[in-house]
Amino acid sequence: MRGIIAFLVAASPLLVGQTQLSAEARAQELDRVAKAATAMVDGDVCLHIQTKRSIEFLQKKDPRDPWIASDNFDVDHPAFIQTKKTLMRLARLCPEACDANLWMPLEGNPEPVQVLIRNVYEMSSFWNWGNLHQPMPDEMKRVLTTGERVTFRGKRGMISVLAPVYDSLGNIVALVEVVSQERRDLQENVK
């Protein structure tokens, strides 16, 4: 594992150089990284990212406190950091700027999904800015139920490849969105 990571990081200065890829070629590159994500991201660790207390608050509603869920959002720091670092390393495999985001269904409720880890370019074909959780897109449902990788062409020239994340029991517990954009908006989400 450590050897692979060392290779990825050492190769990254070459890999992150900006190139002009066709949409098809970009999708293929993202798929390659997404495939690696399934191998590299530890689903058991992902299950420990959000704290139990935070999960309890996640779907609470209080008409007098619209921020009750977000103010109580919290994570287990080691699990978050370990997974985020893996995602960051994966993103370095992309030949152009890309993000690898972690998405997970809500515990005990398969309908909504939440992005649980985002990364530096703040790209996603699915995330509605600021949402703690949101309705599950069909593409994500497909990944979580079939284990297939799914390519999705999103808004503003984004292409995402979704890949399953497994725990040690072989359950699909999360998915990774590897995403890049045809023309990055350098000012977007600087807020």
Residue 113 sits at φ, ψ, to 5 deg, of: -135, 150
Q: Candidates 116, 140, 144, 163: give the one binding another protein (CB under 8 A).
A: 116
Stretch that binds another protein, among 21-29, 136-144, 147-155, 182-190 (CB under 8 A): 182-190
Min separation Cβ 126 and another protein, Å: 13
| 125-164 positions binding another protein, by CB under 8 A | 130, 132
Taking CB under 8 A as the rule, does residue 7 contact another protein? no
Which of 67, 153 has the CB closer to another protein?
Answer: 67
Q: What share of the chain is helix, strand, coil (3-state, %, to 5)?
A: 40, 25, 40
Report how many residues bind another protein under the rule CB under 8 A: 42
Taking CB under 8 A as the rule, does residue 61 contact another protein? no
| 9-38 positions binding another protein, by CB under 8 A | 9, 12-13
Stretch that binds another protein, among 23-31, 145-153, 155-163, 181-189 (CB under 8 A): 181-189
Stretch that binds another protein, among 27-35, 66-74, 138-146, 171-179 (CB under 8 A): 66-74
In DSSP terms, 164 is beta-bridged to 175
Taking CB under 8 A as the rule, does residue 119 contact another protein? yes
Which of 26, 118 has the CB closer to another protein?
Answer: 118
What is the token pair recorded at 106? 């809500």
Taking CB under 8 A as the rule, does residue 1 contact another protein? no
Q: State how far the Cα of 109 lies from the Cα of 132, in Å rounded to an integer.
A: 14
Reported in sequence order, the residue ranges of the chain that DSSP labels E, i.e. its strands, are: 98-106, 109-117, 134-135, 150-153, 158-166, 172-181
Taking CB under 8 A as the rule, does residue 56 contact another protein? no
Q: State how far the Cα of 132 lies from the Cα of 106, in Å rounded to an integer.
A: 11
Taking residue 55's Cβ as centre, other Cβ atoms within 10 Å add up to 15
Question: 2-8, long-range: CB within 8 Å, 24+ apart, which pairs?
Answer: 4/40, 5/89, 8/89, 8/90, 8/92, 8/93
**Sites of contact with another protein (CB under 8 A):** 9, 12-13, 53, 62, 64-68, 70-77, 80-81, 84-85, 88-89, 114-122, 130, 132, 185-191
